[in-house]
A and B are shown apart, each in its own frame.
Chain A
Amino acid sequence: EAGVAQSPRYKIIEKRQSVAFWCNPISGHATLYWYQQILGQGPKLLIQFQNNGVVDDSQLPKDRFSAERLKGVDSTLKIQPAKLEDSAVYLCASSLGPSGSYEQYFGPGTRLTVT
């Protein structure tokens, strides 16, 4: 079974530029998550999708971050414009359902460096 795919793996941009990350979840997984992991910290949930609807985006900085999951499969996370403090690893995860009892499977992440 293929795991969660993410691209690119690494990205370096200058502040005020825009960037987009892509995630392809495990086939059949209805729930998709985007996490931000700053160096030395645990992952923090940015947004959770159930199929193509948003379940929780309370910690997403909506003035600069946006995410979509068209057709309930792949998802894209965008940052525009980027700030220095956005430097982090962005992890995508998926699970069969939204309940906490379902295991979340994580992709390898995209390491973003903003200079």
Chain B
Amino acid sequence: AQSVTQLGSHVSVSEGALVLLRCNYSSSVPPYLFWYVQYPNQGLQLLLKYTSAATLVKGINGFEAEFKKSETSFHLTKPSAHMSDAAEYFCAVTDTGTASKLTFGTGTRLQVTL
């Protein structure tokens, strides 16, 4: 069974500062890993995904994440925060089987201040 732990339910950064959202996973088999963003009253949108190719994954809106097997981590980063990045971010994991379901973390709400 897979699980995901997101450290920090709320993160606040200043506009222009580094964004770091933490995600650790637990999986007995090689996983696929995802980051989704959710804006108020909207569904989830995929930011990026790791599917066993390059360990450094680049996504939309300037976000990237690095898969570190030794640390079982998949932290999300962005060099410079923008006000429009304020949203809820979810890390998710699935296994590499042919019929796999996503298991989500509890989410991290990112606040961006002036």
Contacts and interface: CB of A to CB of B under 8 A. Distances in A.
B114 interface: no
A48 interface: yes
A7 to B, nearest CB: 13
A45 B106 contact: no
B61 interface: no
Size bin of chain B's contact surface = 20 to 34
Contacts, number: 67
A104 B99 contact: no
A98 B99 contact: yes
A99 B102 contact: no
A56 B101 contact: yes
A107 B42 CA distance: 8
B107 A41 contact: yes
A48 B101 contact: yes
Nearest to B104: A42
A88 B58 CA distance: 32
B92 interface: yes
B28 interface: no
Contacts of A51: none
